[in-house]
Amino acid sequence: PGPVAAVPPAAGGPPARAEWRLPGDLGRRYGAVSGDRNPIHLHPLTARLFGFPRAIAHGMWTVARCLAEAGDPSSIRSVRVGFRAPVLLPATVTYAADATGNAFELRGGKGRVHLVGTVTRQAGVSGPG
């Protein structure tokens, strides 16, 4: 993670907490580990065949990365996520979360929201310190 960029929050959105630079080969690397080798994640050429200008990040990777930033994973009981826009690779994105870490979003340039989510934690366990 790098320094937090001055990406404005979406209207009423949580404040920025971290900035991530995602390489162009992220989809291929995640696909090799996960076994999900969907062509939209692998190369710009194969992604274009499906209407994307470049390869896109795996949705499950983006959710997992957000959860890793959200604090103690053993405290998370459930997760709800809404995907809003694909993350075109390479990319720089901003992870934003409320003070509890229970509501989060991933934003791209000009505040474009890629995903929004919430976590429910076990009773008596808080999010990031």
List beta partners, residue 113. Answer: 107
Flag whether 10 is in a domain: no
Identity of the residue numbered 122? Q
CATH code of 24's domain:
3.10.129.10
- Domain carrying residue 37: 16-121
Handedness of CA 103, 104, 105, 110 (dihedral sign): positive
Flag whether 57 is in a domain: yes
Q: Which helix (H) or strand (E) holds 21?
A: strand 16-22
What's the structural domain count of the chain? 1
Instruction: Answer whether 0.75 is exceeded by the pTM.
Output: yes
Flag whether 93 is in a domain: yes
Summarised one tens digit per residue, pLDDT across range 14-50 is 999 999 999 999 999 999 999 999 999 999 999 999 9
Burial (CB < 10 A; 0-12, 13-18, 19+), residue 6, is: exposed
